[in-house]
């Protein structure tokens, strides 16, 4: 549920914090007082389209923050958050959105910066907003099949998951078959290209680690003269006549003579002897290296040419010798498939045919389960419509026949919701309903059914009761109250019947302080509830008659709420 929302510098709201309760919260107030502004704030907080026009005049940015409490640990929103690396703080989810004067937004979920797309995805799992002419999924033909599947329950869900797994394999094989059955000119071009690339890489005779060795050899060749001279100097310094090794040899002999006389000199004598023989060995190695060293300008050119070839291949096929060789293996495989594509095509076609047979069985099973669920849903919806005084209405889930069977992620079915609101009128697509009052009741009937299955924690109704009155208004009030037993409901209403059913009643009004207009919100409790209902009935003037009627309406509503809760528990 939406526990609290804080709004700052948004439209005519300077600063406002609203706490909400479980059940049905009704927001009332005069037209233009700012009721819809609060709903707009919730809408933007959950990823709705925003602009700098929402920022209060004179402010640099609008700030919106909402606290949601989700008691169900299996709620889908938690998986969405984990998927994008957002930490979950027990049952709390905090959404925040700042809109600056350039129109750009900064969005956060539990303190982590997110894109507007992620905020919208998470918000859609928490809040469902409905207006008189807008009801999102319920008024979207493409969403009807998903709503029916949700209504059908766990049995159909398991079948659909099995079908989707098979359908994923089907798409993969179809794509690979399409690649193999490209036109002959494209195939011939690919064969020529792959053959050239394989030959070019093979002709290079690349070896892993070769480039590093060549770089080292190039470095030595470029510095040959410097290395030769320094090695010669080192040899001369160690082994030439009257050079280092002679003096160390003398020191070694002197120390050996006294090693037996003075025990302290024994270890020192050993160290000098070791140094002498190590230097002698080093001198011999230097001499051998010098004798074998020979400068070859052609070898340097060969190394540089070889490195240039490797660089050319890297620009074409990969950033390293390893990647070039991996690429060669890949195109050799692809080349083999293309050269032997007739055999490959036949194998893939056989696999696809087998998968299609399995798909047909599972898709048929899905269709049968959906048709059973469709009858149950139609019956349930018509029961809801009767309670909303649309006794003559007929509802049906229409399965559309297609000329050619085309498998998709939902099976073979294309369907949408159809309704006829009057006797003698043909069924029409739900999205074609024109009457505001009928649309409101239809949407409430659908929402009464689907609110149990969609997992949305909070539902907002923005003046969905427009265009109705009398007994229909009372029926709508009871229906909204029934929905509030499954989900938290926030409702903007001008109907006293709806306001009387509220578990929490908030009144919004405008006040002018100095030269600025402010939106003020207060909770309506106790005797003030009857006064507010009276105002909604008759306008600004509250009479004893309307006050009496208001109190009677509140009393009746309390009894209705108890009956509704009792009935919902038995369902």
Tell me the per-residue pLDDT of 17-65, one tens digit each, with 9 for 90 and over. Answer: 889 888 899 988 877 777 788 888 888 998 888 888 889 888 899 999 9
Sign of CA dihedral 155, 161, 164, 165: negative
Please state, in angstroms and rounded to a whole number, the distance separating the CA atoms of residues 530 and 562.
19
Q: Are 404 and 182 in contact (CB under 8 A)?
A: no
Q: Can you tell me whether residue 520 is helix, strand or coil?
A: strand
Retrieve residue 457's tokens: 């924690």
Centre a 10 Å sphere on the Cβ of residue 566 and count the other Cβ atoms it contains: 9
- What are the pLDDT digits (tens) for 292-326? 777 677 887 888 888 999 999 999 998 899 999 99
Q: Tell me, what's the pLDDT at 286?
A: 84
pLDDT in tens, 74-117: 787 888 888 888 888 778 899 999 999 888 889 999 999 999 99
Helical axes 244-259 vs 264-292, angle rounded to 10° = 150
Is the pLDDT reported for residue 132 higher than 50?
A: no
Identify the residue whose tokens are 């074609």. 432
Cβ atoms < 10 Å from Cβ of 500 = 28
Question: What is the rounded distance in angstroms from the CA atom of residue 480 to the CA atom of residue 502?
Answer: 10
Give per-residue pLDDT as tens, 153-207: 888 989 999 999 999 999 888 888 887 676 667 778 888 999 999 999 999 999 8
Residue 107: predicted pLDDT = 92
Asked if 435 contacts 388 with a C-beta cutoff of 8 angstroms, the reply is no
Q: Above 90 in pLDDT, residue 340?
A: no
Q: Count Cβ atoms within 10 A of the Cβ of residue 199 and give its class: 0-12 exposed, 13-18 middle, 19 or more buried.
A: exposed
User: pTM for this one?
Assistant: 0.60
β-partners of residue 551 are none
Report pLDDT digits (tens) over 517-541.
778 888 889 888 888 888 888 776 7
């Amino acid at each position: 549920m939406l526990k609290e929302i804080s709004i700052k510098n948004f439209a005519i709201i300077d600063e406002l914090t609203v706490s909400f309760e479980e059940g049905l919260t009704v927001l009332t107030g005069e037209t233009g007082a700012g009721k819809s502004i609060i709903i707009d704030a919730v809408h933007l907080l959950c990823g709705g389209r925003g602009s700098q026009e929402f920022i209060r005049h004179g402010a640099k940015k609008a700030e919106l923050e909402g606290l949601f409490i989700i008691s169900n640990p299996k709620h889908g929103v938690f998986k969405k958050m984990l998927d994008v690396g957002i930490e979950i703080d027990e049952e709390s989810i905090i959404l925040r959105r700042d809109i600056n004067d350039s129109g750009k937004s900064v969005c956060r979920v539990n303190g982590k910066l997110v894109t507007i797309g992620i905020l919208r995805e998470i918000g859609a799992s928490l809040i469902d907003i409905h207006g008189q002419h807008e009801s999102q999924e319920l008024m979207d033909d493409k969403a009807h099949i998903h709503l029916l599947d949700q209504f059908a329950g766990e049995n159909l869900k398991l079948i659909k998951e099995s079908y989707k797994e098979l359908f994923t394999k089907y798409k993969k094989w179809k794509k690979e078959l399409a690649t193999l059955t490209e036109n002959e000119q494209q195939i011939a071009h690919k064969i020529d290209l792959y053959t050239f690339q394989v030959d070019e890489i093979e002709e290079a005779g690349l070896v892993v680690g070769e480039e590093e060795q060549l770089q080292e050899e190039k470095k030595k060749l470029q510095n040959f003269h410097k290395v030769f001279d320094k090695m010669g100097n080192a040899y001369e310094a160690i082994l030439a006549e009257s050079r280092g090794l002679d003096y160390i040899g003398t020191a070694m002999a002197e120390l050996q003579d006294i090693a037996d006389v003075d025990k302290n000199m024994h270890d020192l004598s050993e160290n000098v002897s070791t140094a002498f023989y190590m230097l002698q060995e080093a001198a011999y190695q230097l001499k051998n290296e010098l004798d074998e060293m020979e400068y070859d300008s052609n070898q340097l050119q060969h190394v540089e040419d070889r490195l240039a070839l490797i660089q050319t291949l890297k620009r074409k096929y990969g950033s390293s010798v390893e990647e070039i060789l991996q690429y060669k293996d890949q195109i050799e495989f692809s080349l083999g498939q293309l050269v032997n594509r007739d055999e490959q095509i036949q194998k893939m076609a056989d696999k696809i045919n087998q998968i299609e047979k399995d798909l047909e069985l599972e898709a048929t099973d899905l269709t049968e389960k959906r048709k059973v669920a469709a009858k149950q849903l139609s019956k349930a919806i018509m029961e809801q419509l009767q309670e909303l005084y649309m006794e003559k209405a007929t509802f049906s889930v229409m399965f559309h026949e297609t000329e050619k069977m085309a498998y998709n992620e939902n099976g073979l079915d294309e369907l949408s919701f159809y309704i006829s609101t009057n006797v003698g009128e043909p069924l029409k697509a739900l999205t074609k309903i024109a009457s505001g009052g009928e649309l409101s009741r239809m949407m409430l009937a659908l929402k009464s059914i689907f609110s149990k299955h969609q997992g949305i924690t909070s539902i907002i109704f923005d003046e969905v009761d427009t265009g109705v009155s009398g007994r229909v208004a009372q029926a709508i009030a009871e229906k909204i109250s029934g929905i509030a037993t499954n989900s938290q409901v926030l409702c903007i209403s001008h109907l006293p019947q709806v306001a009387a059913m509220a578990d929490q009643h908030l009144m919004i009004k405008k006040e002018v302080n100095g030269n600025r207009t402010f939106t003020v919100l207060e909770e309506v409790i106790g005797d003030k509830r009857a006064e507010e209902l009276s105002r909604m009935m008759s306008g600004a003037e509250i009479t004893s008659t309307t006050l009496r009627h208001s109190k009677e309406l509140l009393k009746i509503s309390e009894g209705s709420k108890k009956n509704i809760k009792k009935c919902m528990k038995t369902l």
